C-alpha cells in the first residue's frame, strides 16, 4: 500500500481523504462553471470537461464529462473505467510531462459547489448487518424472534425510492406519517417523533443486465463502479406501524443522503476483506470466490443547532454479513434487470459494541437509554435543527482512501393536515 506521489502537493499529506491513490468522481460547479464531472485530488478538483476539451483525456468520440453525472462513463464499461484511472494517475503523478497543461484546470475545493454525482436509476436498500438486524429484531419482535428464519440464507432487501436520493448538504424536512403507539387504539397523522439515521455504504452499479439474466457474485463484483456513504433516514414510529407484511414504505421513502464523491472499487482494492464465517452454508449462487467486503472505518457525528460536532458512533464496513456483490447477484437472481446507476444500500452497519451501533434506535435502545451530548442535552432520536454527518475512510500505512462527508440537517415538518 504505497502512497503515490502527485505534483498536487496537498494530495501527498498522510491525512488527506484524496491522495493520488483515491481519485474519486464527483459533479461540481463554481460561480463561473456549470455543473460538470470532476475528480478530487488533495484540496483541488480536476475539471474533467476541460481536460476532455483539450484532448488530455479521451474516452469516447462524444464528450462524456461535460454533463452533471457520471452515468455516461459507467456506460463505457470496466475496461474504460480502468483506462481512465490509469490516465488520471499518469496526468497527476509527480514528474508528469503534462503538469503544465493540467494545472490550469484545477479548481480549489473552497470555490466549488457539489452536486449529485450520478443520476440514480433505482434505489434498493438491504438489511445485511447482523448486529443491526439482531438489535432491531430484538426490539420489534423479542430476542427469540430477532433474526427471521430467512436471514442467514438471503440478503434481505426492499425496493426504495430513487426520487428522494439527495447529495450531502441537502436539508431534509421531518417526515409526516401515520403513527400508532402500541397502547393506542387508532392511528393519528403527523410529524414523526422517532426520526432516525442509518449508517450505510452505497454500492453504485456501473453496468446493466438484461431482464431474465442471472449473474455470479464474481460478475457482480466487476459490475460495481464504486461506493459512497449513505444515510438511510428512517422514521421508526411510521415504520413500526406500517412495516408488516410488505416491509418499510413511507418510513424510508422521504429521503436518502449520499456522499458527493464516488470512490471507485479500484481505489478500494488494497482494502478487501472477507465476510464473517457463515453460520449456515449459502446456496452456490451466493458464494464468494474472494474477499468482497472492504475495511472502511466509519463514524456518525451529531451536531445540534448552533452546537459543536460530536462523534456518537464508530464502526467498520467489515462487520457486514453480506457484501454488495452478493446483494447484487441476489438482486438479479430472479431475472430482475439491473441498470447502470442503480444504488444498493448495504443495510445499517453496526458492530458488536454499544458505541459501534449505526442508528439512534440502537444507540438509545428504542429510547429507553438516551445518549447524553457534551452540551448536557440528551437524544433518543433526532431533533429539528440537528445535523448528522457520516464520515469514512480506508486506512492504509501511508495514505487513506476517504469518502468526504455525508451530511444532512433536519428541518421541521411541512404539515398540512
Ligand atoms: Ca436501511
Which residue ranges make up each domain of the chain? 9-115, 123-411
Q: Half-sphere exposure of residue 131, counting CA atoms within 13 Å on the CB side?
A: 23
Residue, of 410 and 1, whose pLDDT is higher: 410
CA dist 264 and 24 (Å) reads 6
Its pTM stands at: 0.97
Q: Are strands 224-231 and 123-126 parallel, antiparallel or unpaired?
A: unpaired
The residues assigned a catalytic role are: 132
| 247 has a pLDDT exceeding 80 | yes
Distance of CA 135 from the midpoint of ligand 1 (Å): 14
- pLDDT tens string 118-174: 999 999 999 999 999 999 999 988 999 999 999 999 999 999 999 999 999 999 999
| 417 has a pLDDT exceeding 90 | no
How many angstroms from the chain centroid is the CA of residue 45? 21
| Fold category of 9-115 in CATH | SH3 type barrels. (2.30.30)
pLDDT at 61: 87
Q: Under DSSP, is residue 231 helix (H, G, I), strand (E, B) or coil?
A: strand
Of 227, 260, 202, 258, nearest to 28 by C-alpha is 260
What mean pLDDT is predicted for residues 388-402? 96
| 186 has a pLDDT exceeding 80 | yes
- pLDDT tens string 257-268: 999 999 999 999
Number of other CB atoms surrounding residue 114 within 10 Å: 21
Distance of CA 317 from the midpoint of ligand 1 (Å): 14
| 371 has a pLDDT exceeding 90 | yes
pLDDT at 141: 87
Q: What percentage of the chain has pLDDT greater than the value 70? A: 100
Q: What percentage of the chain has pLDDT greater than the value 90? A: 96
Query: Is the omega angle on the peptide bond into residue 369 within 30 degrees of 0, that is, cis?
Result: no
| 274 has a pLDDT exceeding 90 | yes
Distance of CA 187 from the midpoint of ligand 1 (Å): 24
Beta bridge partners of 205: 224
Distance of CA 28 from the midpoint of ligand 1 (Å): 27
- pLDDT tens string 306-363: 999 999 999 999 999 999 999 999 999 999 999 999 999 999 999 999 999 999 999 9
Sequence-ordered list of residues with C-beta below 8 angstroms from that of 163, at least 6 positions apart, any chain: none
CA dist 263 and 23 (Å) reads 7
Distance of CA 232 from the midpoint of ligand 1 (Å): 5
Question: In which region does residue 161 sit, left (phi positive, over 0), alpha (psi from -120 to 50) or beta (all else)?
Answer: beta
Distance of CA 199 from the midpoint of ligand 1 (Å): 8
pLDDT at 415: 84
Instruction: Report the CATH superfamily, name and number, of domain 123-411.
Output: Fumarylacetoacetase-like, C-terminal domain (3.90.850.10)
Asked, colleague to colleague, whether 9-115 and 123-411 share their fold, the answer is: no
Residue 203's Cβ-count burial label (10 Å; 0-12, 13-18, 19+) is buried
Average pLDDT, the chain: 97
pLDDT at 140: 83
| 1 has a pLDDT exceeding 80 | no
Distance of CA 198 from the midpoint of ligand 1 (Å): 6
Distance of CA 347 from the midpoint of ligand 1 (Å): 5
CA dist 311 and 313 (Å) reads 6
Residue the block writes with cell 445540534: 304
- pLDDT tens string 95-114: 999 999 999 999 999 999 99
CA dist 304 and 307 (Å) reads 5
pLDDT at 288: 96
Distance of CA 65 from the midpoint of ligand 1 (Å): 32
Amino acid at each position: 500500500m504505497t502512497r503515490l506521489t502527485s505534483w498536487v502537493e496537498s494530495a501527498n499529506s498522510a491525512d488527506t481523504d484524496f491522495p493520488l491513490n483515491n481519485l474519486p468522481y464527483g459533479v461540481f460547479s463554481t460561480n463561473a462553471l456549470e455543473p460538470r464531472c470532476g475528480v478530487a485530488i488533495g484540496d483541488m478538483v480536476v475539471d474533467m470537461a476541460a481536460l476532455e476539451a483539450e484532448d488530455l483525456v479521451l474516452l469516447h468520440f462524444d464528450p462524456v464529462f461535460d454533463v452533471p453525472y457520471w452515468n455516461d462513463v459507467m456506460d463505457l464499461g470496466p475496461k474504460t473505467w480502468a483506462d481512465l484511472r490509469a490516465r488520471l494517475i499518469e496526468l497527476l503523478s509527480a514528474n508528469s510531462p503534462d503538469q503544465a497543461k493540467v494545472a490550469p484546470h484545477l479548481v480549489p475545493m473552497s470555490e466549488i459547489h457539489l452536486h449529485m454525482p450520478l443520476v440514480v436509476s433505482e434505489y434498493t436498500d438491504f438489511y445485511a448487518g447482523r448486529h443491526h438486524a439482531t438489535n432491531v429484531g430484538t426490539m420489534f419482535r423479542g430476542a427469540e424472534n430477532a433474526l427471521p428464519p430467512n436471514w442467514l440464507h438471503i440478503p434481505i432487501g426492499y425496493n426504495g425510492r430513487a426520487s428522494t436520493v439527495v447529495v450531502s448538504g441537502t436539508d431534509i424536512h421531518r417526515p409526516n406519517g401515520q403513527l400508532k403507539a402500541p397502547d393506542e387504539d387508532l392511528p393519528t397523522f403527523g410529524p414523526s417523533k422517532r426520526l432516525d439515521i442509518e449508517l450505510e455504504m452505497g454500492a453504485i452499479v456501473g453496468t446493466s443486465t438484461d431482464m431474465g439474466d442471472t449473474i455470479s457474485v464474481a460478475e457482480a463484483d466487476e459490475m460495481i463502479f464504486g461506493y459512497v456513504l449513505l444515510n438511510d433516514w428512517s422514521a421508526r414510529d411510521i415504520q413500526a406501524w406500517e412495516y408488516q407484511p410488505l416491509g418499510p414504505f413511507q418510513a424510508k421513502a422521504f429521503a436518502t443522503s449520499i456522499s458527493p464523491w464516488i470512490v471507485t472499487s479500484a481505489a478500494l482494492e488494497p482494502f478487501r476483506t472477507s465476510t464473517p464465517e457463515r453460520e449456515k452454508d449459502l446456496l452456490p449462487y451466493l458464494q464468494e470466490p474472494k474477499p468482497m467486503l472492504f475495511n472502511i472505518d466509519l463514524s456518525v457525528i451529531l451536531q445540534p443547532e448552533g452546537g459543536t460536532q460530536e462523534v456518537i458512533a464508530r464502526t467498520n464496513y467489515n462487520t457486514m454479513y453480506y457484501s454488495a456483490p452478493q446483494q447484487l447477484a441476489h438482486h438479479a437472481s430472479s431475472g430482475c434487470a439491473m441498470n447502470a446507476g442503480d444504488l444498493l444500500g448495504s443495510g445499517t452497519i453496526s458492530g458488536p459494541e454499544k458505541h459501534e451501533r449505526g442508528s439512534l434506535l440502537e444507540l438509545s435502545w428504542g429510547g429507553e437509554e438516551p445518549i447524553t451530548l457534551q452540551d448536557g442535552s440528551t437524544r433518543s432520536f433526532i431533533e429539528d435543527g440537528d445535523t448528522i454527518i457520516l464520515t469514512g475512510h480506508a486506512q492504509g500505512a501511508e495514505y487513506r482512501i476517504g469518502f468526504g462527508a455525508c451530511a444532512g440537517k433536519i428541518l421541521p415538518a411541512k404539515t398540512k393536515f
